[in-house]
Structure 1
């Protein structure tokens, strides 16, 4: 074997080229400035994750609303509640044994988020009533430059950060329906996502446009108190039986069947048991979580399970509609169950059979000052119009976000929205988003999903801090390959069926942009590790190994410098300390 001869020419060249070692121990974290947009579920969780995982950082959360909680601050319409089990719609680090009912109301979820925000002293990091209206990457400085409007004063200020985290959410940017004359209506006009607090519907003739998840909740909430309710339905939708019936009463798990309920509400005895017995409570949470996660098997339909679900729901819905043929034709779909979002609708179907309710499937031509004109010429006079017509689900940012290739608004208007593992975008350095394209938006609670994205982003932030990276972004060809995989696999799910769905940006046969191509567990598994080889990097030196420092490590000065002797099987794993 030959002996190693150092390359003297290379050594001299690097010194003359300006390279010098970094005079600090390897692993020393440099300061990082982070801005998160949105103080909803994802933004609040990000505050806690950074506190638990990072040192030497600065973090600011800009929130356009007057308080935290995001969608649960904004959505206050009658009947508004979560369509997931309460005990799964909570952070794993903040269990709440005191949920009052199986599917929590928006007010209760808002209170949960506000309470944890105060308990964790998060408010100093949050600037309420501040709206980000422009963000642009500055290559020379390696920073994002932002314009933020103070909604109280109207003033526009500037800020900057190394990392920009977009936690504005996909179901947040509500929109009016495109109906001629809508804003010429002289009665009360209200959108479900911007409910008027002083709107009194009692004794009025009310039109509810839309039978998505919001409309399905609003109709039974208003029906008992209005004089007449006209429900405009564009297309049929599958309505699930109440969750407590499906997940608890009909469960094969004895622990769930034994839950003591009073309708949709937990009895005081049941809540007390949740509080007193943490082992039982954890088992209950895990059992309901498994019920939610199992849904993907139905949606893939490898064993005809979607067909069976379709038949079962058809029978249940027909019975709830009292076998009224007109209503059944209007409400029960012909496409396979699961193609559109499966919506729990306690009392919805039953309310449609009440004498003061009319279901209309005819197309709306325009809105007049006193009512709504149908395609056949009939004008239905109403006192109020409720638009339960949803959100802009195109994934286009609501303000300019300008990266290396231009404004993401323009790019995603012309091209299909694609993101690497749902949270990073090609040509957008140091930019991450929550619930981006092809995220598990329809797979279950977003609480634990937000936690996993935060963990992933934190790994990136630590890498940036300790390896002297200026910027990183996923490689364009890798993002393309991920999108290709997603769209090919999603074709085998019932989501790809012939139905109009927000999963396909409101189209019938468009590509599925909103959902992850796999189960919820599949997504968690995928997000466990950061695949650095999928990213392009810009370093602060011509030598990427400058981060190795002065030959020493921060671990030498820690409380346990011989940690590698404690658990040899864990050396190199995530459980080994970073600092």
Structure 2
């Protein structure tokens, strides 16, 4: 004989199963990550508030800030082919050249932002200066500074840091630099009103910005000095075979050739040594038939990039061949003489987590990220394009997208299951980083050489993903929730089951309610 059900003090919410709790999200930054976060939130979340705080006056991120000069076909541009430097699901048939300049990339981001009506998610001229976790509330308390210098406060359940891996530029520590009488300009804060024609110019550094600035400055400077701290490799351009083949094919068409020649109004619009200008006919082809030809072209470019990952594996045959080819190319470009030069050349905001722990202390001496996306002791926190991520595996756009989708899946779980705090386990994170270190013992980055990826040491741990870009995307597709500790908003974790009915039943959407009946074994969803 079945006994009677005992009375319970547990209150059953009068709502359908998994009615999502309202969740408040703050994203730091309005570059490619912030824009995509706003888009993905609209697409993947149901009951949320999102604010993207940006210190600048508008969107664009690195492509808004980096505007160093373009006197010809060079200047500030992206070293990834333009047709893959897009959000993976939204190509652009209108790129003007193989490698897009800063202004064009900023324009692409703005068109995406406007097309998908994301304006309401952004607050500009507002800098995030700190975020502190409050475990009792399950919230980050976020301190903000407006353009008037005044501080205000906001809060969120989930915090996403998309402020950029190298957003806070600084001058090198050089004695006497502050006493220099001429104009001082940083590539990340270029002063357009400074006249450089006919001047003696010194460029400090030999990295990617210097590689783009120096060719431009040498055209106008009376004298040019380049100060490099360490040797520099300049490898062949990405997807160079496709680049060269496009030039050959274009050269056979007199009409297309005339379409891309320089003019008095636009003298830089011509094919340079490592550049290619798309003709109106090519753009028209890319735009046809739901962009079928464009997708084919984009995939060809991406395959050319990802198929060469093996040259990052130390000692592999392609690695040996690449070293030899790159050295020969650099030697030929420098020409005869310069033997001594050849010997030298050819070889954020404050964040506080559980119990007030500062991320600066937690990540001292080295970062301890989990899947390049979160870290122990900082619940409900996600960082995009951070340590152990895609800093050298190819185009950042696919990995940024994968990290944001990962964060959205976690946030959706927090909302659906009434989760107060979701924190990755420290033991799991340590094992992951041990694995990454072991993998890099066989990568080129693990070889004994000084590298930014190793905190400017010769033998430190490598702060890159342990594998290819495709490997990273696959790993991030499915969150492994067993790697996390959960604290729930209610004392009974099962209150998300609510009143015993689903939204489809309550709202009378009976076709949706019986979606489990189907003609073939395909996934189904009950709302």
Determine if the TM-score, normalized by the shorter chain, exceeds 0.5.
Answer: yes
2:513 aligned partner:
561
Please list every run of 5 or more consecutive structure 2 residues that lacks an aligned counterpart in the other structure: 70-74, 261-269
Alpha-carbon distance, 1:149 to partner: 0.7
1:154-553 equivalences in 2 (<5 Å)? 154-243=149-238, 245-249=240-244, 263=271, 264=275, 265-277=277-289, 278-301=291-314, 303-324=316-337, 325-333=339-347, 398-412=348-362, 414-513=364-463, 515-553=464-502
1:31 aligned partner:
22
Question: d(CA) in 1 for partners of 2:369 and 2:435?
Answer: 12
Question: d(CA) in 1 for partners of 2:525 and 2:452?
Answer: 43
Question: d(CA) in 1 for partners of 2:312 and 2:239?
Answer: 21
Alpha-carbon distance, 1:567 to partner: 6.3
Change (3 A) 1:118 1:160: same
Change (3 A) 1:30 1:172: same
- Structure 1 residue matching 2:430: 3-state secondary structure: helix
Change (3 A) 1:540 1:409: closer
Alpha-carbon distance, 1:249 to partner: 2.6
1:389 aligned partner:
none
Scaled by the length of structure 1, the TM-score of the pair is 0.82
2:96 aligned partner:
100
- Structure 2 residue matching 1:27: 3-state secondary structure: coil
2:113 aligned partner:
117
Alpha-carbon distance, 1:560 to partner: 1.9
Alpha-carbon distance, 1:301 to partner: 4.0
Question: d(CA) in 1 for partners of 2:122 and 2:158?
Answer: 16
Q: Judge which range, 291-300 or 175-184, deviates more.
A: 291-300
* Larger strand percent: 1
Q: What CA deviation, in whole Å up to 9, does each residue of 1:227-251 have, x standing for no partner?
A: 0001112222111234463443369
Q: What CA deviation, in whole Å up to 9, does each residue of 1:527-556 have, x standing for no partner?
A: 111111000000123322221122112243
* Contact 2:398–2:473 under 8 Å retained in 1: no
* Contact 1:40–1:69 under 8 Å retained in 2: yes
* Contact 1:236–1:331 under 8 Å retained in 2: yes
Question: d(CA) in 1 for partners of 2:145 and 2:85?
Answer: 32
Runs of 4+ in 1 over 6 A off after TM superposition: 257-261
RMSD: 2.4
Alpha-carbon distance, 1:490 to partner: 1.4
Alpha-carbon distance, 1:181 to partner: 1.1
Change (3 A) 1:567 1:179: farther
* Contact 1:135–1:146 under 8 Å retained in 2: yes
Question: d(CA) in 1 for partners of 2:17 and 2:287?
Answer: 46
Change (3 A) 1:227 1:517: same
Q: Judge which range, 233-242 or 525-534, deviates more.
A: 233-242
- Structure 2 residue matching 1:224: 3-state secondary structure: coil
Question: d(CA) in 1 for partners of 2:466 and 2:309?
Answer: 10
* Contact 2:239–2:301 under 8 Å retained in 1: no
Q: Judge which range, 39-48 or 272-281, deviates more.
A: 272-281
* Contact 2:96–2:278 under 8 Å retained in 1: yes
Say whether 1:64 aligns with 2:64.
Answer: no
* Contact 1:400–1:407 under 8 Å retained in 2: no
Alpha-carbon distance, 1:274 to partner: 1.2
Scaled by the length of structure 2, the TM-score of the pair is 0.89
Equivalenced residues, count: 497
Question: d(CA) in 2 for partners of 1:169 and 1:85?
Answer: 21
- Structure 1 residue matching 2:473: 3-state secondary structure: helix
Q: What CA deviation, in whole Å up to 9, does each residue of 1:301-338 have, x standing for no partner?
A: 463211100101111111110033123112211xxxxx
* Contact 1:81–1:105 under 8 Å retained in 2: yes
Question: d(CA) in 1 for partners of 2:207 and 2:319?
Answer: 20
Please list every run of 5 or more consecutive structure 1 residues that lacks an aligned counterpart in the other structure: 334-397
Question: d(CA) in 2 for partners of 1:53 and 1:527?
Answer: 16
Change (3 A) 1:139 1:330: same
Say whether 1:77 aligns with 2:68.
Answer: yes
